[in-house]
Chains A and B, each alone.
Chain A
Amino acid sequence: MTAVSDTETTIGFGRVLRKEDVRFLRGKGNYVDDIKLPGMLHGAVLRSPYAHAKIVSINTAAAEAHPKVRAVVTGKLLETLNLAWIPSLSHDVIAVLATDKVRYQGQEVAFVVADDRYAARDALELIEVEYEVLPAVIDAKTALDPSSALIRDDIEGKSDNHIFDWDCGDQEETDQVFDQAEVVVKQEMLYPRVHPAPMETCGAVADMDPISGKLTIWSTTQAPHAHRTLYALVAGLPEHKLRVVSPDIGGGFGNKVGIYPGYVLAVVGSILTKRPVKWMEDRSENLMSTSFARDYHMSGEIAATKDGKILGLRVHVLADHGAFNNTAQPTKFPAGFFHIFSGSYDLRSAYCQVTGVYTNKAPGGVAYACSFRVTEAVYLVERMVDCLAQELKMDPAELRMRNLLKPEQFPYLSPTGWEYDSGDYPRALRLAMDIAGYETLRQEQAEKRAKGELMGIGVSFFTETVGAGPKKHMDILGLGMADGCDVRVHPTGKAVVRLSVQTQGQGHETTFAQIVSEVTGIPIADIEVVHGDTDSTPFGLGTYGSRSTPVSGAACAIASQRVRDKARIIAAAMLECSPEDLEWESGRWFVKGDPSSGKTIQEIALAAHGPLELPDGVEGHLDGQCVYDPPNLTYPFGAYICVVDIDKDTGKVNVRRFIAVDDCGPRINPMIVEGQVHGGLADGVGMALMEAIAFDEEGNCLGGSFMDYLLPTSLECPSWETGQTVTPSPHHPLGLKGVGESATVGSPPAVVNAIIDALSVYGVRHADMPFTPAQVWRTIVGSPMRTDMAFK
């Protein structure tokens, strides 16, 4: 095991301990709620108790009279500032504070700024709001019925709850494949609404300096630069007078991509009171009002030959986007990257159609480690393949093995237009089966079944698509998905690297130092990573969709390479030879054929800042920059196997084993990669077994606290078994693919496939997540529940 001290001299990739840990372990992290500024006030938000209601009147007089209250903000006041509505991330608008009506339970209605957080909450109780309750649209399946209430009457000419229709693939060809297929299996399934629920909720501290006009916003954001630009556009504030700081972030998982009304309200509060204002939501507010994930009703069909050759896939999706279309997707892709739903298989044709609808629920975001809806796509195809296996009475691992893409097919152009960069899928599945002891498990299952016990084995295989752009195809609100990086070597050979992306626990302070170290030979301990502050980092779109390593990591590698290239010219000047005569070894340029005459990167750094005469056109100092616009996405993949035991008396599912083989290309730091995988596996177990936000028919959110929205603990999670294969990406400068969301994408179908496999003795082919004991029991007796609603 690497000791802490080893990082002092360690260079490049490998298992090194994290630099950031030294502060977290001592309780010295600096999260948004830890920020305390002189004279700082506290804000609190009054929220709607109703899912759909007209606001008749708001009386704030009593709140304003509270001795500790400094400001009360309503939608009416915001209208005068032109801030009542702001653009959403998907070319819609969201209300900062409701003006006309409330459209989901928990929506922001008023904001109070007071001397302390207790007083701010007290004052909320003093605000009187008169509502006229309207019928709520809760079931996405009836949202388009003419009899459903109109949610978005704020949009001129809007007469229904329809948001968009989008399709992808060759419909005609796919229909033909289905018409001629020997076997067609259909299955409807729901990927329920779930919530990222990072342990730190969302919040902000806004500080408007009335003299300089500079506004600083510390906030829980995964994308500080995108936020700065959006604040500038929305509020008409000059961008150079805006500084967004994302300090330590207590987990993001997509929850912290968007701009929430609370952030804007903290800014308004600071402008009105001329003092810093902190707003920190509580857990209920986080669960009820911030970006959820999924909520996809999917009708899938799979076509195959009788002997198990998969031919085609067809799917219609009804996407529940809540009251405002606020999902963070690249502009051209309203359903994100769902069209990668043909998965890891060599099939002829695929077609998907997605319809987005408004409902009286919290608006969505790209949330919960979803890689822009690859999660839903992988769940669909992996469930469909299992349904087909059941129909054909084939082993699901064997059926997959028969249809997986072959290594020689890469780069592979999918039926919906993706170009998969590289992969060896059968090897990964074989490895997972070996680690699991697949054949032995099947024997054990047969023995258990003979005794009447319920044991299930679930297999899933996933192909991720991560690292968005390229920017010519991908932008968010017109901002291209490319990222910058600056590497600067100081005269003494220590370096600083500045990133546009921001860690929420992924360990960037360590892994990006490792990238610089790998390329330049500077020890990891000598490299400082600066990130999260728009005043001191280059522009870029931030950390989500597993894009930091594939995009920003590539920028960092190229910037480091530019440092090394420049060092070569400087070393040549020092050694009075030509740069072509020099050869590189880690941390040093030396004369070919004469290894003893060379210069270390540290010597070169000093010379670069000294009186040494450099060739014409070569500037001094030692630095490198890059703005990386990825030529393609990267395609990490993996094979997962889950083993469950189910108690048929209680309906309780026990995840006994979970085997995860991941291929994300070379691993910068295997310890950190494994940690990322572990976290995603726990997410998958949570979603499969217990996480879902359901609503009752009035639109009351039934997942508004950790008493109701259950997260997996140490007792639901097994000891994870991991393995790896390594297939580099051909187009990333270091072959890296990204891994942050792989396990969240790949694990839910493995768990669900295992549960259905166990329950198949009752003739069950499908039921929806989460498999709470009640759902398992209902499935056994043949009447599984709709898990998105309390009234069906």
Chain B
Amino acid sequence: MNIEVEVNGVGYSRDIEPRMLLVHFLRDEIGLTGTHWGCDTTNCGTCVVWMDEVPVKSCTVLAAMAAGHSVRTVEDLEQNGTLDPVQQGFMEMHGLQCGFCTPGMMMTARWLLDHNPDPSEMEIREAISGQICRCTGYENIVRAIRWAAEHSGEPADKAGEVMA
């Protein structure tokens, strides 16, 4: 079947099998491999993206269900060469190690801060509790999201680009 999906502000039209998962559509069909896949049972959250401004587990959404909707992935967090405060916070507070859970964690974090700009530690822990990180023990992810809350609205440190 043919579907049209908007991803990160760009329209894509693809012929796909009706059973194709959104995560595979993003990764294999349009080459956005920042979104990861980590389980068969909707438990890990490495696949979290936004569909119409709401975080979803893209392993549990058919690509066909995303037709006509807009999807946002980790690749869209950086805007005009400036890291999102969430990205900056993950770097500053060492909120990632292997980086595999990180895109999903950051997409949830961005959504949380958009709806609750000053979350408590417990609110952050609840927000990310549907996602698993095997490396960090979560502490630095919580600190990273707090960092982003405290530094939102400030001009982001451009140094992130310099290093890239």
A interface, CB within 8 angstroms of B: 1, 3-5, 7-8, 17-29, 31, 33-34, 36, 116-118, 197-201, 248-251, 253, 282-284, 504-507, 525, 671-672, 674-676, 678-683, 705-707, 711, 713-715, 717, 719-720
Contact = CB atoms under 8 A, between A and B. Distances in A.
Interface string B74-112: 110110000100011011101011111111001000000
Contacts of B101: 199
A713 B129 contact: yes
Contact of B102 (A24, A504, A507, A705): A24
Nearest to A684: B137
Interface in B121-160: 121, 124-126, 128-142, 157, 159-160
Contacts, number: 200
Interface string B19-48: 110001001100111111111110110100
Contacts of A22: 91, 160, 163-164
A608 to B, nearest CB: 28
Contacts of B1: none
Nearest to A704: B40
Nearest to B98: A505
B97 A505 contact: yes
A253 B83 CA distance: 30
A675 B157 contact: no
A706 B41 contact: yes
A1 B129 contact: no
A253, A674, A679, A719 interface centre (most CB from chain B within 10 Å): A679
B53 interface: no
Given A706-B44, A714-B128, A506 B97 contact: yes
A199 B94 CA distance: 18
Main secondary structure of the interface of B (DSSP, over half): loop
Nearest to A507: B97
Contacts of A249: 98
A18 B94 contact: yes
A283 B135 contact: no
A118 B17 contact: yes
Nearest to B103: A27
Contacts of B131: 713
Give 6 closest A-B pairs by Cβ, nearest first. A27-B34, A505-B98, A24-B99, A250-B100, A678-B137, A505-B97
Contacts of B44: 199, 283, 706
A199 B100 contact: yes
Contacts of A118: 17, 19-20
Given A8-B162, A33-B37, A706-B43, A198 B98 contact: yes
Contacts of B99: 20-21, 23-25, 29, 248, 250, 505
A676 B40 CA distance: 27
A49 B136 CA distance: 35
Given A26-B34, A250-B99, A706-B39, A198 B134 contact: yes
Contacts of A506: 97
Interface of B: 17, 19-20, 24, 27-28, 31-41, 43-44, 46, 73-75, 77-78, 83, 87-88, 90-92, 94, 96-103, 106, 121, 124-126, 128-142, 157, 159-160, 162-164
A249 B134 CA distance: 13
Contacts of B73: 27
B38 A525 contact: no
Given A118-B20, A714-B128, A26 B87 contact: yes
A675 B37 contact: no
Nearest to A200: B100
A249 B99 CA distance: 9
B84 to A, nearest CB: 9
A707 B41 CA distance: 7
B159 A719 contact: no
B139 A27 contact: no
B79 to A, nearest CB: 12
A714 B129 contact: yes
A199 B91 contact: no
A13 to B, nearest CB: 16
B16 to A, nearest CB: 10
A719 B121 contact: yes
Contact of A671 (B94, B135, B142): B94
A255 to B, nearest CB: 10
A200 B135 CA distance: 11
A205 to B, nearest CB: 13
Contacts of B38: 199-201, 250, 283
A525 B19 CA distance: 46
A27 B98 CA distance: 12
A714 B125 contact: yes
Contact of B139 (A23, A36, A250, A678): A678
A679 B137 contact: yes
Contacts of A199: 36, 38, 44, 46, 98, 100-101, 132-135
13 contacts: A4-B88, A4-B91, A17-B91, A17-B94, A25-B90, A199-B38, A199-B100, A200-B100, A250-B98, A250-B99, A251-B98, A675-B97, A705-B40
A779 B88 CA distance: 46
Contacts of B83: 25
Given A7-B163, A19-B163, A22-B164, A717 B138 contact: yes
B83 to A, nearest CB: 7
A678 B46 contact: no
A683 B135 CA distance: 9
Given A283-B38, A705-B43, A714-B141, 10 more contacts: A3-B159, A24-B102, A25-B102, A27-B73, A27-B75, A34-B27, A199-B44, A679-B97, A713-B138, A715-B129
Contact of B75 (A26, A34, A707, A713): A26
A682 B138 contact: yes
A17 to B, nearest CB: 6
B81 to A, nearest CB: 11
Contacts of A3: 157, 159
Contacts of A28: 34
Nearest to A282: B40
Contacts of A714: 124-126, 128-129, 138, 141-142
A29 B35 CA distance: 10
A283 B41 contact: yes
Contacts of A5: 157, 159, 162
A713 B129 CA distance: 6
B36, B40, B126 interface centre (most CB from chain A within 10 Å): B40
A506 B136 CA distance: 10
A197 B38 CA distance: 10
Given A1-B92, A282-B40, A717-B138, A31 B160 contact: no
Nearest to A504: B98
Contacts of A116: 28
Contacts of B92: 1, 4, 17
A23 B19 CA distance: 31
Contacts of B124: 714
B137 A681 contact: yes
Contact of A711 (B31, B102, B132, B162): B132
